Every structure is written in structure tokens, then in C-alpha cells.
Amino acid sequence: MSGSDGRGGGRRARHSGEAFWWALFSAGGVMAALFVPAFVVVTGFLLPAGDPSVAAARAEAFGQAVGCWPVKIALLGVIALSLFHCAHRIRHTLMDFGLRRYSGLLKVPCYGGALAASLWAAWVLWGIAP
Amino acid sequence: MSQGGYRRPHRWAWWMERPGYMRFMIRELTSFFMAGYLVVFLVTLSKVGAGDAAFAEWVDALSGPGWVAAHVVALLAAVWHAVTFFGAVPQAMPIFLGERRLSAPIAMIVMGYGPWLTVSAVVVWWILR
């Protein structure tokens, strides 16, 4: 193959935003798989304990965990990456359902929504007293 | 059409044509439920920030049958996402020890089910301890 000497004379790698979204997508897939099932168990089944004193103790443990800085930073990473993972898949699913024409336009609600929710997460976590 | 040439006509219900496509679509739909759940999780965190009374009231609401049912659906979606994600790890990220490729079940345990179980156990233990 002539011209592929790496000095820009030959084939040039086409830069597109897709690679960036793809990296967020796979990291988010891992985070969602590792953490979201446990989060669902906590908010759905452990925090709403029938007994009030048990519920109070669990609420206290939850508040204590999400109030400390290392957990806040980790949570922000997990939540933001999971949101971008979902946004990417939601966009592609909508495209598969016949909205492929609007693939560019769909980026706005999907990635924009993930960004907005991530900023909200940062704001919420910032506001939790230790 | 002058641009793009032939495009195979694409029914919106193409995913109902084969069981494999259906499984793919069920997996894709888990992302909608997980995104919805993440919003619920963010509301929960915002209630922690809003004070003990607001948080207690929110937790009380979460014990209602509607929210419990929603959590059951969210759990199924999240677990299905995790299982299918870890199931794809051996193909997506083959691990080589020297010349030998790590076998699929071991790769799934090391790269998926092991860390998943550890994370889940730590989170649940922290709340129940």
C-alpha cells in the first residue's frame, strides 16, 4: 500500500464524534451493570422497610454513605456514565424504530438530557451535608 | 434516488421477525428503564439533601405498591442489562495469558460477575449493617 507512510499524504483517519460517544458508552455500560441493580435493591426494597426504627437506621446509613466526599465523587462518575450509556442506547433504539433520519437531531434530547441530569446530580451531591 | 443507492426497506417492527432480534430489542429497551430509574435515584439523593423530614416522607412514598412495582421492573431491567453485558465480555474483551486465551466462563467471572457480586454485597451490607 503506497501512501500510507503516516505523514498525512495518504489515507487520513476520519475523525467523527462517534468514537468519543463510544468510549462513554462502554464505560457507562460497565458502571450501570455493576451498580444499578444494587441501587434498585436499596431504594426499592431496603430503604422502605416496614418497621419504622429499621427504616430510620437504614435511612441514616444511606445518608451517611452519600454524605462523604469519596462516595459523592464516585456516585457522580457512576451516575453520569450510566446516563450517557442509556442515552446512547435510547438514541440508537429510536433510530432502529424508524427515526434514523433524525439521528443528528436525536442527539439533542438524548445526550443533552444525560448532560442535564449529570449536572443535576453534581448539584444534588454538592448540596448533601456530610 | 440519486444519493445512497439502494436501501433495504425497513419496517419499524423488523425486530419482531426473529427471536434473536427480539432479544436484542428487549436488551435495548432495558436502557429506557435504567434511565428512568436513575432519575428516581437522583430524586432520592435530592431528598437526602433536603433534610431528614423530606427524606423520610420520600421513603414512605417509596413503600407504596406503585413504587415497589416500578422497582421490580427496574431491577429486572438492570439485572438483564448486567447479565447480557457480562455475557458479551469474553467476545468484546478477550484476555490473553501469554499465548492462551482465558476461557469464556472464567473471563465472565473475573471481569463481570465477581466485581458485580462484590459491589452489590458492599452496598447492601452498608445499608443493613
**What is the per-residue pLDDT across B25-80, written as a single tens digit (0 to 9) for each?**
899 999 999 999 999 999 999 999 999 999 999 999 999 999 999 999 999 999 99
User: Which residues of chain B form beta strands (DSSP E)?
Assistant: 96-97, 100-101
How far apart CA A88 and CA A111 sit, in angstroms, is: 7
The interface pTM score, or ipTM, of the predicted complex is 0.88
Residue A12 inside a domain? The answer is: no
What is the reported pLDDT for B9? Answer: 67
Domain range for A57: 18-126
Comparison of pLDDT for A107 and B1, the residue scoring more: A107
Q: Please indicate if any CB of chain B lies within 8 Å of the CB of A32.
A: yes
Residue A100 inside a domain? The answer is: yes
Residue A21 in this model has a pLDDT that exceeds 90: no
Residue A2 inside a domain? The answer is: no
As a whole number, mean pLDDT of residues A25-48 equals 95
How far apart CA B112 and CA A33 sit, in angstroms, is: 9
How many angstroms away from the CA of A42 is the closest CA of chain B?
7
Q: What is the CATH number of the domain that holds A86?
A: 1.20.1300.10
Residue A10 inside a domain? The answer is: no
Residues of B in contact with A86 (CB under 8 A): 31-32, 34-35, 38
Residue A8 inside a domain? The answer is: no
Q: Give the total number of structural domains in chain A.
A: 1
Average pLDDT, chain A: 86
Residues of A in contact with B87 (CB under 8 A): none
Domain B16-80: which CATH class? mainly alpha
- C-alpha cell at position A9: 499524504
Find out whether B34 and A36 touch, Cβ atoms under 8 Å: yes
